[in-house]
Amino acid sequence: MTELVTRRHALLGLAASAMALPFPAAAQQDRPLKLIVPFSAGGTADVLPRLLGEKLRTAYPGGVVIENKPGAGGNIGADFVFRSEPDGFTLLASPPGPVAINQNLYRKLSFEPARWVPVTVIATVPNVLAVSNKLPVQNVGELIAHLKANPGKVSVASQGNGSTSHLTAAMFMQLTGTEMNHIPYKGTAPALVDLLGGNVDVFFDNLSSSAPHQHAGKLRILAVADDQRSRVLPQVPTFVEQKLPGMQAVTFFSVVAPPGTPPALAATIQKQLAQALTAPDVRQKFLEQGAEPRGWTPEDSGAFIQRETQKWAKVIKTANVTLD
């Protein structure tokens, strides 16, 4: 009788321990992991999660689904994830907008970015200062001098009002005391087309989309907005090297979970993503996109996102940028 009771207690203890384990892809469940990308397919925000998804399939018997829910600067997809169950099966894979920028940009949001549970920052991609070949400048110092001699006459393209390229341009003008004529486009592609054609003069673009045109000699990249040179463009100096140390602007790609997600569960998913990032083929493909693989812990990711939120809030307030 005593042996039977002891065995029963032992089995109950094992069951309780199993239930306490944070496993988003438990062997007993055949549910897919959904990574919601709040932007259209094809861009860096979409490509990076898909590369990771291939490596995560062994941990998720139900598969890994990358689902695009674009619209409203990323807010539609973000709202969907925000209202999802905090069980580790529905996550947001997103650039900064709905994670660190939109709460200071839009008058009203249907979700609360401060309540996201950080999982990891999978990669960072620096913004770069690209100029038309028609613009008579060869470095940042010459550009600043040209802008001060021609206030409001030089045009600066962006991916749209409130986009990272718009805010990076606003940061540059604030730091240098210059003024440019902002021309918003609907995305990177049309802005680049007009920059290459000489219809606009300046574009603070994502490195991955401008670098091929720099290599082809179709535009000039004057500076990288990071604390070190990019391995994709080792010949291009940073803003720091050109005596503009405050000009730091990277696009980060993070994975965050709905409010209420247990920290232990977020840590488990982070380890899976960090492991996927160590695969040589994944790292190589990330670097080809101009993306530096990261895989930071939830704590480090949360601290980084908070710093980015504060930085862009200051830029947005100073530039008086708002969206409905």
Interval 96-144: pLDDT, tens: 999 999 999 999 999 999 999 999 999 999 999 999 999 999 999 999 9
Residue 56 confidence (pLDDT)? 93
Instruction: Decide if pLDDT at 43 tops 70.
Output: yes
107, 324 Cβ separation under 8 angstroms: yes
* Cβ-based neighbour number of residue 247 at 10 Å: 23
Mean pLDDT of 197-222: 95
Domains of the chain: residue spans and CATH = 18-125+251-319 (3.40.190.150), 129-242 (3.40.190.10)
202, 156 Cβ separation under 8 angstroms: yes
Q: pLDDT band for 188, please (50, 70, 90 cuts).
A: confident
Query: Which token pair is 294?
Result: 């990261």
Residue 38 confidence (pLDDT)? 94
Give the max Cα distance, the chain.
94
Instruction: Decide if pLDDT at 1 tops 70.
Output: no
184: alpha, beta or left? (left if phi > 0; alpha if psi -120 to 50) = beta
Average pLDDT, the chain: 90
8-39 pLDDT tens trace: 444 444 343 333 444 554 444 689 999 999 99
The interaxial angle of helices 44-56 and 263-277, nearest 10 deg, is 90
142-174 pLDDT tens trace: 999 999 999 999 999 998 888 899 999 999 999
Which residue, chain included where needed, has tokens 């438990």? 26
Query: Which token pair is 184?
Result: 């918003």
Mean pLDDT of 177-187: 94
Q: What is the pTM of this model?
A: 0.85
Residue 9 confidence (pLDDT)? 43
193-206 pLDDT tens trace: 999 999 999 999 98
- Residue 28 phi, psi (nearest 5): -75, -10
227, 19 Cβ separation under 8 angstroms: no
211, 185 Cβ separation under 8 angstroms: no
Mean pLDDT of 270-274: 97
Residue 44 confidence (pLDDT)? 86
